[in-house]
Amino acid sequence: MNVQIAPSILSSDFAALGAAIAAVERGGADLIHVDVMDGHFVPNLTIGPPVVRSLKRVARVPLDVHLMISDPDRFIDAFAAAGASMMSVHVEVLPHLHRTIQAIKALGVKAGVVLNPSTPVVALEQVAADVDFVLVMSVNPGFEGQTFIPRSEGKVAAVRSALDRAGNVSAPVEIDGGIDLGNAARVVAAGARILVAGSAIFHAPDPERATRELKAAAAAALTASAPR
Ligand code: DX5
Ligand code: ZN
């Protein structure tokens, strides 16, 4: 399994989203991470399906839509129609998580589940065989530019084990929050195979170059650790 880089456009200039996407694509971005926030589940408001539809027209790589909203079931159809290739939902808000995962897959979209920093890995156990990927939050969701919570590497490893135990060896673990050149190698060694990065890429003087450097650091860490 390769390591993929997913720049989060939350940290970019919203007046120039197309240019931001083009820059990170030139730098080798594998996915574009889109943070959807509703002001209820997290204390911030961001973007909805109309913006995703516009991003889809300009992006050459798949859109990875992270739903930080209280009632994702209401919006899954709209984000799929808007062009999401991957959609992740938080286990903390879903009493019928299995049903939601099946609903996302039925729309032809890859289904992921997200664990907040305080959510135990066991919350994933009963759906570990069903998911296409798992997103481990390494900050409390809501804002870019926060500090990586160090225990998150152990969480990545525990999620990797849970997926493997369920026979879901091809589902990657994604990590989101505070990822930069200083910790990329560590999270890859722990088993992360999709790295989200917002401020480390878009607050850098040259986002294209920052993407390329993060990707090179992740790839080097993968070579150094046992292949999986
Ligand atoms: C946080 C979002 C993240 C965030 C990442 O709620 O889910 O995707 O934009 O930004 P950085 O990399 O700056 O932590
Ligand atoms: Zn995110």
Residue range 176-203: average pLDDT?
A: 98
Q: CA triplet 42, 199, 215: central angle to 5 degrees? A: 120
Q: Does the pLDDT value for residue 226 go beyond 80?
A: no
State the pLDDT at residue 227: 54
Cβ neighbours of residue 25 closer than 8 Å, sequence gap 6 or more: 59, 60, 61
pLDDT band at 165 (very low <50, low <70, confident <90, very high): very high
Contact 63, 83 (CB under 8 A): yes
Mutational test site, ligand 1, from 42, 66, 181, 196, max ligand atoms within 8 Å of CB: 196
- 99: which residues sit within 8 A by CB, 6+ positions away? none
DSSP 38: B
Helix (H) or strand (E) holding 54: helix 49-58
| pLDDT confidence tier of residue 138, bands split at 50, 70 and 90 | very high
What's the whole-number mean pLDDT along residues 192-212? 98
Residue from 5, 8, 138, 187 to probe ligand 1 pocket by mutation (most atoms less than 8 Å from CB): 8
